[in-house]
Amino acid sequence: MKIKNQSSLSSKYWLMVLVAVCVLLLGIERFTDGGGVFRLIGNYTVVPMQKGISYVGRYLSDISDNFDTLEDVRNEKDALQTKVDELTIENTRLRQEQYELDRLRELYKLDENYSDYEKIGAHVIANNGSNWFSDFTIDKGSNDGIKVNCNVLAGSGLVGIVTEVAPDYSRVRSIIDDASNVSGMVLSTSDTCMVRGDLKLIPDGRIRFEKMKNNDNVIEVGEQIVTSHVSDRFVQGIFIGYISEIEVDSNNLTRSGYITPAVDFSKLQEVLVITTTKADMTGGSEKE
């Protein structure tokens, strides 16, 4: 009898629990606007999971887009770099052409200044291995009418003289070489002097002159020195340079000093060669 009562009591408890759960579910449904308990459970379980999956998907998609964008940027950078390289090469070529044009204009002007003499253009193809073009080779020779003692011009005036000739090339000794001696004169007074080469002086941008008479003629810094009429190897009137210093020698009979040359002997590339020598003009023999 006792066992039966306990079973009946247990059943009542379960019934009461089920009734309470139903009431609770009905209340929840009411407060969730009729969405139902499954909707509520979904809101707290499935929906957050879906949001998380969606966020991860968007994140992975953004990463993929970023990789695509990065690849596009790299390709664009490579294309731009190629364009920059092409423009740099083109700019370098144009600058070289401009420099060459400027040099040729200088030669043309020089040709105009000495239009009385027949000349031929030549390229410098080798020098003596130093930083200064004191002894160098040009790409024209006897086949082009060049011979020993032909005068060579560049820049604004005298470069030097041809010392050796082959059929297709010639060697030139410039006025800055230690072995060079040029008879010069002051353009304004015709006072003569001897212009001597000295490679020790050329880094300072000057060459030396000496044996100018100390007379009543006033000669100042800035006076022009040209080749003289008494030179046996250089034609008359070729511009050598400007006097930068002048003083009376200790003997009080002569003056000497320094000249700033008319030619930049550090970067000769093209020259003009006067194909007629002084001996051709005078009908005499040439001395060294």
Cα dihedral 265, 91, 85, 269, rounded to 10, equals -20
pLDDT > 50? residue 287: no
Domain assignment of residue 243, yes or no: yes
pLDDT > 90? residue 153: yes
pLDDT > 50? residue 146: yes
The conformational region for residue 145 under phi > 0 = left, psi -120 to 50 = alpha, else beta, is left
Domain assignment of residue 276, yes or no: yes
Q: What's the confidence (pLDDT) of residue 66?
A: 67
Q: What's the confidence (pLDDT) of residue 94?
A: 59
243-280 confidence digits (pLDDT tens): 999 999 999 999 999 999 999 999 899 999 999 999 98
| CATH number of 130's domain | 2.40.10.340
Residues of the chain above pLDDT 70, percent = 68
Q: What's the confidence (pLDDT) of residue 195?
A: 97
> With 0-12 CB in 10 A as exposed, 13-18 as middle and 19+ as buried, what is 270?
middle
Average pLDDT over residues 92-101: 60
Domain assignment of residue 145, yes or no: yes
How many domains would you assign to the chain? 1
Q: What's the confidence (pLDDT) of residue 1?
A: 47
Tell me the one-letter amino acid at 286.
E
> With 0-12 CB in 10 A as exposed, 13-18 as middle and 19+ as buried, what is 68?
exposed
Domain assignment of residue 46, yes or no: no
Residue 241 structural domain = 119-282
27-38 confidence digits (pLDDT tens): 655 555 555 555
Q: What's the confidence (pLDDT) of residue 5?
A: 56
186-243 confidence digits (pLDDT tens): 999 999 999 999 999 999 999 999 999 999 999 999 999 999 999 999 999 999 999 9
Domain assignment of residue 54, yes or no: no
Helix then strand count (H, E) for the chain reads: 4, 12
Range 256-259 contact pairs with CB under 8 angstroms and sequence separation of 24 or more: 256/193, 256/208, 256/209, 256/210, 256/211, 256/212, 257/208, 257/209, 258/201, 258/206, 258/207, 258/208, 258/209, 259/195, 259/206, 259/207, 259/208, 259/209, 259/225
d(C-alpha 142, C-alpha 125), whole Å: 16
Domain assignment of residue 105, yes or no: no
Domain assignment of residue 80, yes or no: no
pTM: 0.66
Domain assignment of residue 132, yes or no: yes
Pairwise pLDDT comparison (151 vs 51), residue with the higher score: 151
